Amino acid sequence: MYSIILIIITIIVMEIYTAITYYIHVKDVNNISNKNKFINITSDTQGINFLNKYSVYSDKKISHAPGKIMIDKDYNVFINTQNNSILMKKNLIYNLDSPFEVEIVNLSTENINYYYISNN
């Protein structure tokens, strides 16, 4: 009888401990500051006029200073920063506040065009 009560009390204490540590962990994760988010995305298609056009034929990794970048077709173009790695979507202007790397994976025989301008 006492062993069953001891087992039940042990299970209850373990459940309470697990719930408390989970709550503290989730609370810490939710309090991450917004200063680590460097990518702002806008859907301004008129912005292509002030961006410089670059054309790449093969797979490349290209480093860029902070600035704005976009693509006009859905290609396999990734933006890599210290904290993020995202696949670019067409006709969206990505405004990056930190240095980044453009990774281009060309699976076709056509040139991949992207548009970029530095903030400097």
Single pTM value for the model = 0.63
Compute the 3-state secondary structure of the chain and give helix, strand, coil in percent, each to the nearest 5.
30, 35, 30
Give how far the C-alpha of residue 16 lies from the chain's centroid of Cα atoms, to the nearest Å: 35
Q: What is the DSSP letter of 91?
A: T
User: What is the C-alpha separation between 58 and 104, in angstroms, rounded?
Assistant: 8
User: What is the C-alpha separation between 94 and 58, in angstroms, rounded?
Assistant: 22
CA neighbor of 104 nearest in space, from 58, 65, 67? 58
Tell me the pLDDT of the chain (120 aa) as tens digits: 788 899 999 999 888 888 777 666 544 443 434 444 556 777 766 666 788 899 998 899 999 999 999 998 888 899 998 887 889 888 888 888 889 999 999 888 888 999 999 987
